[in-house]
Amino acid sequence: MLQLNINDETSRLRAVVLGTAVSCGPTPKPEEAYDPKSLEHILAGTYPVEVDMVKEMEAFAAVFEKYGVQVFRPTVLQDTNQIFSRDIAFVIGDTFIKANILPDREDEFLALGPVLKLIDPAKVVYPPEEVHVEGGDVMPWNDYIFVGIYTGENYSNIITARTNKEAVAFLAELFPMKTVKTFELRKSINARENALHLDCCFQPVGRDKAILHKNGFLNESEYKWLVDYFGAENIFEITSDEMYNMYSNVFSISPKVVVSEKNFTRLNKWLRENGFIVEEIPYAEISKQEGLLRCSTLPLVRE
């Protein structure tokens, strides 16, 4: 059995689900796009192709192998995009929580069957229907659970709004020992303005540092809370272009090791200057779907 254990974003990783790009299907039609960045590339004829995305994901898998991380992959579904495993479930403490995702992605959760068999069924939680939550919006951070939300009255009309206030109450009840801290995200049909998930504009690295993009937050006071919490000197502030390119969506294997996209020159330089080992891989094709390294992973065990 797997002893699930996830209490932060950066402790030494021991087991993870990495999505798959195999049989991810043809380029979607414009009306099938889940997010503005994918739509942009569909219309421009630059949407990524399977062979390139498989290659990128294999480079990610090779880094996990290098660090002795146990890697699970979902069962491959025919013509289904299964890259972003973070969207479909997440772990907090020793509890595996199914994300209430867009209804037509339900099969992706079922494809985690081989992993679920290794988890105590009593530790698998299925939120009620009114709770909308995706793993990209949920970040366990020691005594906190950071949650990206959208509470505008037009929530149900906005496809990029993925986590609602019902999810906040649900998580607070499930984890009474932790403080659920929410951040209202900026939603837009303009890909350069849209924070699809919390990890599109914020992510901790190491023990006390963070990558942050001010304009991803609707309320400046919530952005400032993070600056105060981590300390201005410990923050790497990214530009709107860098947010668009998913700079904050890197992935930590340990407090010292960060997997990053090889083109993130400015960020990678800062990470190295701050004592991190940066494992650079190509992931620019996958990023065209408004998701990157954190989105592709579902961590199961950290030390």
Segments making up each domain of the chain, as ranges: 13-302
Among 24, 18, 16, 23, which residue's Cα sits nearest to residue 288?
A: 24
State the chain's maximal CA–CA distance in angstroms. 49
Residue type, 115: V
Burial of 79 by CB count in 10 Å (0-12 exposed, 13-18 middle, 19+ buried)? Answer: exposed
What's the rounded Cα separation, in Å, for the pair 118 and 93?
A: 16
Residue keyed to tokens 């206030």: 165
Give the right CATH number for 13-302 from 3.75.10.10, 1.10.490.10, 3.40.50.10440, 3.30.750.24: 3.75.10.10
Residue type, 260: S
The predicted model gives 56-72 an average pLDDT of: 98
DSSP type of residue 254: S
Helix (H) or strand (E) holding 126: none
Per-residue pLDDT band at 104 (split at 50, 70, 90): confident
The predicted model gives 269-289 an average pLDDT of: 96
Distance spanning both ends of the chain, measured CA to CA? 16
If you count them, how many residues does the chain have? Answer: 303
Helices of type H across 67-139: 106-110, 113-116
Residue type, 165: K
pLDDT at residue 155 tops 60: no
pLDDT at residue 159 tops 70: no
pLDDT in tens, 167-210: 999 999 999 999 999 999 986 766 676 677 899 999 999 999 99
Among 190, 229, 236, which residue's Cα sits nearest to residue 211?
A: 236
pLDDT in tens, 211-238: 999 999 999 999 999 999 999 999 999 9
Beta bridge partners of 20: 82
Among 38, 135, 33, which residue's Cα sits nearest to residue 84?
A: 135
pLDDT at residue number 149? 92
Q: What's the mean per-residue pLDDT of the chain? A: 92
Per-residue pLDDT band at 163 (split at 50, 70, 90): confident
198, 148 Cβ separation under 8 angstroms:
yes
pTM: 0.94
What's the rounded Cα separation, in Å, for the pair 251 and 258?
A: 6
pLDDT at residue number 103? 72
How large a percentage of the chain has pLDDT more than 70?
Answer: 93
